[in-house]
Structure 1
Amino acid sequence: MTEVLTTLLQKCATEKAQDLYFRPLSTGWAIIERLATGLKPLQKVTLSEGNQWLNQMKYQAGMDISETRRPQTGRSAIEVAGELIYLRLATVGDFLNRESLVVRFIYPIGQTYHCDDSQILSRLMQLIQQPGLLLFAGPTGSGKTTSLYYLAEQVMQDKMVVAIEDPIEIQQPAFLQLQVNEAAGLTYAALLKISLRLRPDTLIIGEIRDLQTAQHAVSAALSGHLVLSTIHARSTTGVMDRLLDLGISHSQLTACLAGVAYQSLVVDGHNVAAHYELATAQQLEEAVHED
């Protein structure tokens, strides 16, 4: 069983799958792969076989095998062609107490990051060499976190970088990585407050979700730090609207915002590249005045 599961996971990793789903059915589970091009059904397994598979994967990820209803998360890894690929697992039971599992594949950045426009990438590189708030928006699975880490790695080799995420997806030993744990009181806001005492040059914030997190990010940017983060919005100008809606003042936003990149994926056969719509703070300000 372990060999079968390992073969399945390695096959998905070879195809650069983003996720692998175990979706509950009345007779077992449907196993579905998510690629950059969309969902790809792989196979169906029986209740008995599926239970064994889920229990094995949960055990390897340090999760509670006996718990099938409450949400759980865990981590494991596989090796493919000499590269270690981390797996992030999440489970939850539905209203019929049927367990669902999703496996997120976290690839080495050097293996996965590509940009479709070298000039835009150069502009991003310029933006991250100055203090301020640089935000990434875009659909789920478009590689925003990968972009944050790739850009930080390129110019931060000799600087102090603190990353705060929920959960940590990409392991980078050169950075100090802190993981949100709300049950222990380690919220985004609490970790941000602590991290500023460590005197970092750069802060990576997994996501700006609320006013408190946004305020800490803005304050850090205003005090001379480079802050890289993601936020939910549908466009570059939508990012400004989102921050204003959260309660950040227009004057603070104008003073700290370095730029916004709206990210999507461009698929060409088996090759996937990041595509950015990039707007500087000045361009965003002009767009707001035009509206």
Structure 2
Amino acid sequence: MKPDHLSNHIIHDAIQKGATDVHFSPEEVDVTIHFRINGYRWFYKRIPLTDYQTLLSYYKFTSGMDIAENRIPQDGTIPVSINHDAYHLRLSTLPLTSTESLAIRILPKNKSPTINELFLFPRQTESLLSWIQNKAGIILFTGPTGSGKSSTMFALMKEAIKRYGYQTISLEDPIERDVDQILQVQVNEKAGFSYDVGLKAALRHDPDIITVGEVRDEATAQFAFRAALTGHLVLTTVHAKNAHGTIERLLEMGLTKTELHQTIIGIAAQQLIPLSKTLQEQRGYSRLAIAELLEGESLTRSIKGFPPENNSHFHTFHQLRRKAYAYGYSTQSY
């Protein structure tokens, strides 16, 4: 089978099964393919190693990677159309002893849920919507890969544009989906166009909202917080284990407690949980988000170094999961 046909076959099956990711794991003579569905990794099939090598070369060439380079990780994107629906494939390679592994994230190009469709508990949506009433400050989203934090950030940003007509600039690496009424800027670290450089350029375009795909380092963190201090609403993601851990992560990046106190509007640490069959039919999704929300008094105490678990206004992931199960919303007990 030609590599483009093999690719279409695999991606088509992945989309039909509701997969968000495809994993290729090379072994001695063949390659195991897994799909990630509803957060779990499921075996799909095996293909010969020779077929995989041809497919890998096709993917690397099509996505703009260096075909000859197999000693360092690479990433790229490919636009595809499956059953008349448009998708972006975000590819990532990892060098192994004699070949490379490959992971593909499947991103719908035009399908994106609204902020009202993302969360299991409506009050959490209401809290996020109250945050975008602020004209300056920073809103942070955190959670593991695949938790939906970027989807939440974009949904909230689109709602802000709808309600308030904000001029919005988004710095992304890579651009995952096209969004109307947003100036989307592709960050290119290899070419010297970093988040830091992009942020400086974005400020010259008189934005109301700036989104940063991810605060990865001290320089980007410092600049994002300075943008918030100078009268802009900044939305960004940070890698941390939970809401309070986000505070610790930012302090590690060199920000002061005073800067955090003056700029942070709220922190949403997010997880996805599986829904009961009844709720799946009602909401049209197999998983929805729950979030630890740090705001107000809980946020102030967390910045001072006091974990928020003892604050009655703060709900931990454990409490939210138990609540979801008790209400019959989720299929998992805790």
- Report the TM-score, using the length of structure 1 for normalisation: 0.92
Which contiguous aligned blocks of 4+ residues in structure 1 show a shift greater than 6 angstroms? none
Task: Say whether the 8 Å CA contact 2:138–2:263 is kept in structure 1.
Answer: yes
Letter in 1 for 2:257: H
C-alpha separation in 2, matches of 1:187 and 1:249: 23
How far residue 111 of structure 1 moved from its aligned partner, in angstroms, is 8.7
Q: Write the deviation string for residues 222-278 of structure 1: whole angstroms up to 9, x where unpaired.
A: 111110011122221221222122211111211111000010001126611121111
Match of 2:310 in 1: none
C-alpha separation in 2, matches of 1:122 and 1:106: 26
Match of 2:184 in 1: 177
Task: Say whether the 8 Å CA contact 2:26–2:49 is kept in structure 1.
Answer: no
**Partner residue of 1:155 out of 140, 157, 160:** 160
Task: Say whether the 8 Å CA contact 1:69–1:97 is kept in structure 2.
Answer: no
C-alpha separation in 1, matches of 2:10 and 2:196: 39
Task: Say whether the 8 Å CA contact 1:73–1:89 is kept in structure 2.
Answer: yes
Match of 1:146 in 2: 151
* Structure 1 residues 197 and 205, CA gap change in structure 2 (3 angstroms): same
C-alpha separation in 2, matches of 1:111 and 1:226: 20
**Partner residue of 1:210 out of 213, 217, 220:** 217
Q: Write the deviation string for residues 1-42 of structure 1: whole angstroms up to 9, x where unpaired.
A: 333421220121222212111111111211111122311111
Match of 2:130 in 1: 126
**Partner residue of 2:65 out of 63, 66, 72:** 63
Letter in 1 for 2:129: M
Q: Please show how residues 2-13 of structure 1 align to structure 2 within 5 Å.
A: 2-13=4-15
C-alpha separation in 1, matches of 2:57 and 2:302: 53
C-alpha separation in 1, matches of 2:214 and 2:305: 29
Match of 1:233 in 2: 240
Q: Please show how residues 1-291 of structure 1 align to structure 2 within 5 Å.
A: 1=1, 2-94=4-96, 96-107=97-108, 108-110=111-113, 114-130=118-134, 131-157=136-162, 158-268=165-275, 271-289=286-304, 291=306
Identity %: 32
Q: What's the RMSD between the two structures over aligned residues?
A: 2.1
C-alpha separation in 1, matches of 2:7 and 2:37: 19
Task: Say whether the 8 Å CA contact 1:10–1:78 is kept in structure 2.
Answer: no
Q: Write the deviation string for residues 101-142 of structure 1: whole angstroms up to 9, x where unpaired.
A: 111111221399621111110110110121211001111110
C-alpha separation in 2, matches of 1:229 and 1:170: 16
Letter in 1 for 2:185: L
C-alpha separation in 1, matches of 2:227 and 2:89: 32
Letter in 2 for 1:71: P
Task: Say whether the 8 Å CA contact 1:189–1:216 is kept in structure 2.
Answer: yes
Letter in 2 for 1:286: R
SS of the equivalent of 1:18 reads strand
Q: Kindly indicate whether structure 1 or structure 2 has the higher relative contact order, using CA contacts under 8 Å at least 6 residues apart.
A: 1
C-alpha separation in 1, matches of 2:55 and 2:29: 15
C-alpha separation in 2, matches of 1:251 and 1:55: 50
How far residue 290 of structure 1 moved from its aligned partner, in angstroms, is 7.5
C-alpha separation in 1, matches of 2:64 and 2:127: 42
- Report the TM-score, using the length of structure 2 for normalisation: 0.80
Which blocks of at least 5 consecutive residues in structure 2 are unaligned? 278-284, 307-334
* Structure 1 residues 79 and 182, CA gap change in structure 2 (3 angstroms): closer
C-alpha separation in 2, matches of 1:14 and 1:111: 22
How far residue 207 of structure 1 moved from its aligned partner, in angstroms, is 1.1
Which blocks of at least 5 consecutive residues in structure 1 are unaligned? none
C-alpha separation in 2, matches of 1:23 and 1:290: 42
C-alpha separation in 1, matches of 2:152 and 2:114: 13
Structure 1 range deviating more: 3-12 or 52-61:
52-61
Letter in 1 for 2:174: P
Task: Say whether the 8 Å CA contact 1:89–1:103 is kept in structure 2.
Answer: yes
